[in-house]
Chains A and B, each alone.
Chain A
Amino acid sequence: MTDKHIEMHGVRKSYRFFTLDDLSLSLSPGEVMGFVGPNGAGKSTTLRLAMGLISPDAGEIRVLGQPMPAAQAAAKRDVGYVSAEMHLLPNATLGWHMDLVKSIYASWDADYAARLVKRFNLRPEQNARSLSLGERIKAVLLLTLARRPRLLILDEPTTGLDPVARHEVINEFMDVLQDDSRSILFSSHNTVDVERISDRITFIDRGRLVESSNKEDFLDRWRRVQLQLPAGAALPALPNIVSRNQDGQFVTLVTDRFSDGFAALLGPHVREVQRMTLEEIFVANVMRHREVRGS
């Protein structure tokens, strides 16, 4: 019996024009995993598989110890799912939805819900149809957060949110993590947020896992190196070069295996060694992955 919140082994899902292949992923309690990848990479598909909304062609999925999609009704009792495409039921108010969720989940915290209504600047009398994009996302987040689920699965949860709302929402997510028995898996294009609050980062591109690791180690390993080679000077032989760009005397290298040993090999012509943001690593990683696959 495992205590991992999400386990995926060799998961495969085929569609006509897209295949998610050999995906393995695991999320432990107390962890935040940022799920990053270009559009169409398979992030939403993966999250839907985790929720049991679709079922894999091959491989195993367990959420909170329950096999998915078979035991989805049981698993979903303690999982909160928010997707940017989600809409509330038309012709009903936010308040009606709050009552509905409250009647279904024993863990509904009415005080917390009331605080969230204020913080997210919503009104219970609002009709679902009249909600703007940002309000709709906040409403679904409210309905999910207020019942304090053990696992949160979020598909682009900060879409359409203004900076203040985003700050409030991220605040609530981090509050969730004060309880080390709860965890979050979220996909986002906002690499700044992912870089900031994730414990682990998983990259996916064109249906395949590119990388999944501990965020700090990850950011530690990637560097952009700038060298200035005078005429006649050769580029030192360096391992693990992801990309290389030369403009006259100036050479820019990107490595994904930076270490003290690597630094020692750089030679006298190095001008600067820079850390990279998650966004820059993301682009470099994906470009390299596509080259390797010959696409």
Chain B
Amino acid sequence: MYSGINISQTDARPMYLQIMEQIRARIAAGDWPAGKELPSIRALAAALNVSVITIKRAYLDLENEGVIVTRHGKGSFVADVNGLAGELREAQLEQHLAEVAGIGRELGLSSEDLAARLRRAMEKK
């Protein structure tokens, strides 16, 4: 059922962060629309073979970010906030840009050089 979500233990990032990221990605892509019910913590734990406490933490942090909403006794749902998908997409873009800037700095590129490279990349697609 949730075979698409994969937790890698060789990934340096902790398991709960990987889960959060994959859930955010699905929401950003629109696969998990606003209001959709998330799998119960135990069901997801059993499906991914990951400890309950890890899933709990992921859900808790996602709730603190406002990405999901937990209703006591009912379950967790994708936050019904307009443009949430777009917001998450924006956040993803910012994160990638920060990484690009960082690598650019390491390579000694100026912002004009980077902008040119970006333009070329956009034309390629």
When A and B assemble into the complex, do they touch directly, with CB atoms less than 8 Å apart? yes
Smallest CB–CB gap between B103 and chain A, Å? 16
Whether A192 touches B9, Cβ cut-off 8 Å, given contacts A177-B42, A275-B14, is yes
**Interface flag for B98 (CB, 8 Å):** no
B49 — which chain A residues lie within 8 A by C-beta? 167, 170-171, 174, 196-197
Q: Are A32 and B51 in contact (CB under 8 A)?
A: yes
Smallest CB–CB gap between B20 and chain A, Å? 13
The B-contacting residues of A in range 100-159, CB under 8 angstroms, are none
Q: Are A178 and B46 in contact (CB under 8 A)?
A: yes
Q: Are A199 and B53 in contact (CB under 8 A)?
A: yes
Whether A214 touches B52, Cβ cut-off 8 Å, given contacts A178-B43, A196-B15, is no
A178 — which chain B residues lie within 8 A by C-beta? 42-43, 45-46
Whether A177 touches B53, Cβ cut-off 8 Å, given contacts A192-B9, A275-B14, is no
Interface string of A184-197 (1 = CB under 8 A from B): 00000000100111
The B-contacting residues of A in range 159-178, CB under 8 angstroms, are 167, 170-171, 174-175, 177-178
B57, closest chain A residue (CB): A216
Whether A197 touches B42, Cβ cut-off 8 Å, given contacts A216-B16, A216-B57, A274-B12, is no
Q: Are B51 and A198 in contact (CB under 8 A)?
A: yes
Smallest CB–CB gap between B11 and chain A, Å? 10
B15, closest chain A residue (CB): A196
B42, closest chain A residue (CB): A178
Q: Are A215 and B53 in contact (CB under 8 A)?
A: yes
**Complex: how many Å from CA A200 to CA B12?**
21
**Interface flag for A229 (CB, 8 Å):** no
B50 — which chain A residues lie within 8 A by C-beta? 174, 196-197
A275 — which chain B residues lie within 8 A by C-beta? 12, 14
Smallest CB–CB gap between A222 and chain B, Å? 12
B52 — which chain A residues lie within 8 A by C-beta? 30-32, 177, 199
A195 — which chain B residues lie within 8 A by C-beta? 9
**Interface flag for A180 (CB, 8 Å):** yes
Q: Are B46 and A175 in contact (CB under 8 A)?
A: yes
B47, closest chain A residue (CB): A174
Q: Are B51 and A196 in contact (CB under 8 A)?
A: yes
The B-contacting residues of A in range 24-80, CB under 8 angstroms, are 30-32
Smallest CB–CB gap between A182 and chain B, Å? 11
**Interface flag for B54 (CB, 8 Å):** yes
Smallest CB–CB gap between A199 and chain B, Å? 4
Smallest CB–CB gap between A183 and chain B, Å? 11
B9 — which chain A residues lie within 8 A by C-beta? 192, 195-196
A170 — which chain B residues lie within 8 A by C-beta? 49
**Interface flag for A210 (CB, 8 Å):** no
B53 — which chain A residues lie within 8 A by C-beta? 199-200, 214-216
**Interface flag for A219 (CB, 8 Å):** yes
Q: Are A199 and B46 in contact (CB under 8 A)?
A: no
B57 — which chain A residues lie within 8 A by C-beta? 216
**Complex: how many Å from CA A175 to CA B42?**
9
The B-contacting residues of A in range 1-33, CB under 8 angstroms, are 30-32
Whether A174 touches B45, Cβ cut-off 8 Å, given contacts A30-B52, A215-B53, A216-B57, is yes
Smallest CB–CB gap between B52 and chain A, Å? 6
Q: Are A177 and B12 in contact (CB under 8 A)?
A: no
**Complex: how many Å from CA A199 to CA B49?**
12
**Complex: how many Å from CA A220 to CA B53?**
13
B54, closest chain A residue (CB): A216
Smallest CB–CB gap between A32 and chain B, Å? 6
Interface string of B10-53 (1 = CB under 8 A from A): 00101110000000000000000000000000110110011111
Which of B7, B15, B51 touches A199 (beta carbons < 8 Å)? B51
**Complex: how many Å from CA A90 to CA B54?**
42
Task: Write 21 A-B pairs (CB below 8 A) sorted by A numbering.
Answer: A32-B52, A167-B49, A171-B49, A174-B45, A174-B46, A174-B50, A177-B45, A178-B45, A178-B46, A196-B7, A196-B9, A196-B49, A198-B51, A199-B51, A214-B53, A216-B14, A216-B53, A216-B54, A216-B57, A220-B14, A275-B12
